[in-house]
């Protein structure tokens, strides 16, 4: 980079941010026709992977708070995508099961992979591998800087 003039717009940080937004946008745009917000997709995914999970198990897999899970699952129930059933063993435990309409959306499970396959169209296997490795090295270097300045900078959003 020695000879290039550094400008904020051209910075790697800006490039990475723009790329991240383009990926999110592509995902959201492909979910939109099904009226499934990205947050709901994560909850459906848990059940597509294992139907009949308890509310607690779903929240854990999604990494959502109890309040978010309650609201999201209620929405999904109102949309007829899932139904709830109390556990026979433990009446306090609530399980969720896919309804036919929720099952019918299962093809959306492959969406992120599909977006990614199209985003990397024309990349060789080696190029994708290099890209992953380069991103990993950036994070390793950044973690080392962080260690120098302050050991206590956890990202609360990181789960």
Binding site for a second copy (CB under 8 A): 1-2, 6, 8, 11-13, 15-27, 29-30, 45, 112-113, 115-123, 125, 127-128, 130-132, 134-139, 141-143, 145-146, 149-150, 153, 155, 157-158
Kindly tell me which of 52 and 63 has the beta carbon lying closer to a second copy: 63
Shortest spacing between CB 89 and a second copy, in angstroms: 31
Shortest spacing between CB 26 and a second copy, in angstroms: 5
Residues contacting 153, CB < 8 A, separation 6+:
146
Shortest spacing between CB 60 and a second copy, in angstroms: 15
Kindly tell me which of 16 and 66 has the beta carbon lying closer to a second copy: 16
Shortest spacing between CB 59 and a second copy, in angstroms: 17
Kindly tell me which of 19 and 65 has the beta carbon lying closer to a second copy: 19
Kindly tell me which of 41 and 95 has the beta carbon lying closer to a second copy: 41
Gap between the Cα atoms of 90 and 134, Å rounded: 49
Biggest distance spanned by C-alpha atoms of the chain: 69
Three-state secondary structure call for residue 98: strand
**If you write DSSP's letter for every residue of 45-94 in order, what string do you get?**
HHHHHSTT-BHHHHHHHHT--HHHHHHHHHHHHHTTSEEEEE-SS-TT-E
Backbone torsions φ then ψ of 105, nearest 5 degrees: -90, 0
Kindly tell me which of 87 and 117 has the beta carbon lying closer to a second copy: 117
């Amino acid at each position: 980079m020695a000879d290039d003039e550094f400008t904020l717009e051209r910075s790697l940080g800006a490039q990475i941010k723009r790329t991240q937004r383009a990926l999110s946008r592509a995902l959201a745009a492909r979910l939109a026709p099904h009226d499934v917000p990205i947050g709901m997709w994560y909850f459906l995914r848990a059940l597509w992977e294992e139907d009949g999970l308890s509310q607690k198990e779903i929240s854990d897999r999604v990494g959502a708070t109890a309040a978010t899970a309650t609201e999201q699952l209620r929405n999904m129930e109102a949309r007829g995508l899932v139904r709830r059933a109390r556990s026979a063993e433990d009446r306090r435990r609530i399980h969720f099961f896919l309804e036919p309409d929720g099952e019918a959306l299962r093809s959306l499970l492959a969406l992120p992979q599909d977006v990614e396959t199209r985003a990397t169209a024309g990349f060789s296997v080696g190029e994708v591998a290099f890209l992953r490795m380069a991103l990993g090295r950036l994070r390793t270097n950044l973690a080392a800087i962080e260690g120098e300045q302050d050991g206590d900078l956890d990202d609360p959003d990181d789960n």
